[in-house]
Amino acid sequence: MCMEGRFRKEGIAVSFDMPMPSRPLSPVTYTTVPVWAPFVSCPLDCKGYQHRTVAKFQTAAVSVARWLFGKRSTDGPAAQQKGWWERPVGRIVIGIVVAVVAGLILWAVTGK
């Protein structure tokens, strides 16, 4: 739903009232959504316009970044901050450091 009420309508969509936050959908408009919806789009010069694929990618990237770095979407009193070693990136770093140290010890013991 466009919050500004700006729609680019083509074909049969021209004859239907578009949904707005301030008014409910009429039964005719609601039941015929599959007919007219493909002919409605957001104008390219709209301030809030964002390509659907780009918006999905950005949402996924933000959720992956929050997961990797241990950030939570809510910062309420129940949300506790994790230490760097409890985050996935911290665990990976600790694993790499342990593997390198173990490899160096093994190399020092077995060969020269």
Give average pLDDT by consecutive 10-residue segment, the chain, 112 residues.
67 75 75 80 70 83 78 57 74 92 92 68
Which CB contacts under 8 angstroms, 24+ apart, belong to 22-25?
none
Global confidence as pTM: 0.34
| Kind and range of the H or E run holding 8 | strand 8-9
